Amino acid sequence: MLVRFVLLLVIVPCFAMPKEEGEYCGDCINDVTEIYSFLGDNSTMTEVQAALDVLCLMLPRDARKACRTLVADVVHELESLDKKLVEDYSPQQFCGILGFCETYCCATPYGPQEIHISLEADDPTKMNIMWVTQSLCDTPTVRYGTSESSLTLSATGTSRTYHQGGWNGHIYLVQLENLKPESFYYYQVGDPEWKWSQVIYSFQTAPLTPVPANQEFTFITYGDMGSSNAADPDLYWLNEAARTHSADLILHIGDISYADGYQPGWDLFMQKIEPVAARIPYMTTAGNHEEFFDFTAYRYRFQMPVPEQNLVNVGRENMTLYYSFNYGNAHIVAISAEAFWGLAPNLHPGGAQHEWLINDLSSVDRETYPWVIAYLHRPLYCTNSNKCVTQTAYYRSLLEDIFNDYGVDLVLTAHQHDYERTLPVYQSMVVDGYNQSSTRFQNVSAPIYSVIGTGGNHEGLQDNFVSPPSWSVPQSRMAVWGYTTIQMNSTALTWNFLNAATHEVVDSFDLLK
C-alpha cells in the first residue's frame, strides 16, 4: 500500500511545469496532508522518510538530492527527539521546516523586535545588542546614554540572515564599546532612516575584576523553557527581576525555544523573552532541541563569546558552541554536549572541546575567581526516568574527572523536566562526610550537580523519580516549574530554587570557602 501511495504522489510532480523557488508551498501542504492521512501512528521512521522523499520530486532535478538529504536529516532529528510527525506538526509547519513554505519573523517591515543583550567575554566595557527586522536595514544602530532622556551616543553594527526552515528576516548585532564598568546605560535600537524600538531599555555593565571580597552578585539559571503558556509563571518573575535589576546575569541551560525546526517558534520565544533579555545579559548553551539544521538558528540568533564564530559551512565536527567568561567573582564555563545528537565527539580525549576545557580550567585565577560554575544541557547525575541511568554515565565518563581535578564548584544541567540536586559527589560517592540532610557545605572536594529543566515547556513536567541513591537530596526532587538564583560573594554562595507558581524557596543550600 505504501508503494501505491508513493506512486500516486510522484505522478503529479513529474508532469507539473517547473516553478520558481518559493512557489511550492501549496503543493507541499496538499501532499503532506495526504501523507498524514496515510501514515499511521505506528509508522516507522523509514516509512515516514520514504513518504516524505516524494516531496522532493516537485523540485527541479538539480535540487532533489539536497532535498532528500534535508528530509533524512529532519527525520533523524524527529526520531532523536521522540517527535511524532502527525501529532506535533501541522502540514504547513512541516512544509516550513523543509523550506517549501516561507515564514516571516515580524509583522512590520522595519520595526525592531526580539531585542536581547549578551556579554563580550571578560570585557566589562562592552555589551552585545541584537535584534531582528523583517526588511533589511542599511544602518543598524544603537543609540544610548547614561540617562533615558539623553541617548546622545550611537554605534552601528552588522546584519546577517539564514534561510533554513524557510525563515525570512534580518538579524543585527551591534557591540557597544568604551562603556564604564558597573554602570547603567539606556538604549534604543533601529535605523535612523526607518524606525526605532518603542521601548527604551536599560542594562548594567559588568564590574572590573578583582572585586571586593564582600561584593555580591546574583545569577538566575534554568533550562527547557520554550514559548508555551507553561513558561508564563517563570517569565512573570523573570520580568520582575529585569524590571528591578535584581539579577546580574541569566544562564539558560539549553532547550531554549522548542521551535524544533519550525522557525516561528524561535520568533515567538524571542518576543516573549525580550523584556527580560533586553535588560539582563542572556547567556546560553545549546540543547538537543536546538540541533535542527546544524544549530543554525541558535548560532545566528545568539552572540556568545565562543573561541571562534562559526556561522557559515563549518560542519558539526568544527562548531565551537562552548565558551567561558568571568563575571564578578565567578568563572563560568558553557559546555556543549549536543553535537551529533548528544554524542559530543569533541568532548572525548584529544577532541577540540576536551582540550579547550582543560586549558580553560587550568588557567583560572582562583584568588580572583574563587567560584567556578560549569553549565551544559545534559545531566551527569539525575534520578528521573531510565535515561538518567543510560545516559548520565556517558557524560560522567567524559567530564567528571575534569570537573573534579580542577575544582569546579557547581555543575548546572537541564534536559530532564524537573528539579533535582546532589550532595558533593564524585564517582557516585558522597564526599566529605555529608548526608542527605546537609544544607551547609564548606571547602568541598567535589562539585554539587543540579538539574533545572524547569523553565516551562509544552512537553510538560516529568515526575518519574526512582528511589534516591545516597548522592541525591530527596527533598530537592520535584516536578514543578521554577528557576534557581545563585547569590555569592567571594567566600559564601547561597543557592535557592523557587517554585514559580508560589514564588516560594523550596530548596536551598550554602556553599562556603
Q: Report the CATH number at residue 144.
A: 2.60.40.380
Instruction: Indicate the residue among 72, 101, 130 that finishes a domain.
Output: 101
Across the chain, mean pLDDT equals 92
Would you say 297 and 167 are in contact if contact means Cβ atoms under 8 Å apart? yes
Residue 443 lies in a domain: yes
In this structure, the answer to whether residues 133 and 59 fall within a common structural domain is no
The CA–CA distances, whole Å, from 125 to 120, 172, 182 equal 9, 20, 9
Would you say 330 and 495 are in contact if contact means Cβ atoms under 8 Å apart? no
Residue 160 lies in a domain: yes
> Pick the residue with more confidence: 170 or 21?
170
The conformation of residue 288, written as its DSSP 8-state character, comes to G
The span from the CA of 503 to the CA of 241, in Å, is 12
In this structure, the answer to whether residues 116 and 72 fall within a common structural domain is no
pLDDT at 59 (0 to 100): 87
Least confident of 8-12, 136-140, 234-238, 421-425: 8-12
Residue 212 lies in a domain: no
Nearest to 287 by CA among 364, 339, 212, 353: 339
C-alpha cell, 446: 567535589
Per the omega criterion (within 30 degrees of 0), is the bond before 210 cis? yes
pLDDT at 4 over 80: no
In this structure, the answer to whether residues 38 and 154 fall within a common structural domain is no
In this structure, the answer to whether residues 114 and 167 fall within a common structural domain is yes
Q: pLDDT-derived band of residue 175, with 50, 70 and 90 as boundaries?
A: very high
pLDDT at 9 over 50: no
Q: Report the CATH number at residue 461.
A: 3.60.21.10
Per DSSP bridges, beta strands 282-285 and 249-253 are parallel
In this structure, the answer to whether residues 244 and 324 fall within a common structural domain is yes
Residue 327 lies in a domain: yes
Give the three-state DSSP class for 101.
Answer: coil
Q: pLDDT-derived band of residue 13, with 50, 70 and 90 as boundaries?
A: very low
Instruction: Indicate the residue among 204, 226, 242 that finishes a domain.
Output: 204
Residue 210 lies in a domain: no
In this structure, the answer to whether residues 87 and 115 fall within a common structural domain is no
In this structure, the answer to whether residues 321 and 257 fall within a common structural domain is yes
The span from the CA of 207 to the CA of 480, in Å, is 34
pLDDT at 386 (0 to 100): 74
Give the three-state DSSP class for 177.
Answer: coil
Give the three-state DSSP class for 513.
Answer: coil
pLDDT at 339 (0 to 100): 82
Q: Report the CATH number at residue 16.
A: 1.10.225
- Helices 263-277, 232-244: inter-axial angle, 10-degree rounding: 40
In this structure, the answer to whether residues 160 and 51 fall within a common structural domain is no
In this structure, the answer to whether residues 391 and 457 fall within a common structural domain is yes
Q: Percent of the chain having pLDDT more than 70? A: 94
pLDDT at 5 (0 to 100): 39
Beta bridge partners of 147: 150
Q: pLDDT-derived band of residue 367, with 50, 70 and 90 as boundaries?
A: very high
In this structure, the answer to whether residues 96 and 110 fall within a common structural domain is no
Residue position matching grid coordinates 527604551: 200
**In which domain, by residue range, is 388 found?**
217-512
C-alpha cell, 484: 534557581
Instruction: Indicate the residue among 101, 126, 158 that finishes a domain.
Output: 101
In this structure, the answer to whether residues 163 and 92 fall within a common structural domain is no
Residue 141 lies in a domain: yes
In this structure, the answer to whether residues 27 and 152 fall within a common structural domain is no
pLDDT at 311 (0 to 100): 72
Average pLDDT over residues 128-138: 98
- Tally of structural domains, the chain: 3
The conformation of residue 165, written as its DSSP 8-state character, comes to G
pLDDT at 310 over 90: no
> Pick the residue with more confidence: 122 or 499?
499
Residue 394 lies in a domain: yes
Residue 59 lies in a domain: yes
Q: What share of the chain is helix, strand, coil (3-state, %, to 5)?
A: 30, 25, 45
- Helices 45-53, 61-80: inter-axial angle, 10-degree rounding: 160
Least confident of 88-92, 185-189, 478-482: 88-92
**pLDDT tens readout for residues 261-284:** 999 999 999 999 999 999 999 999
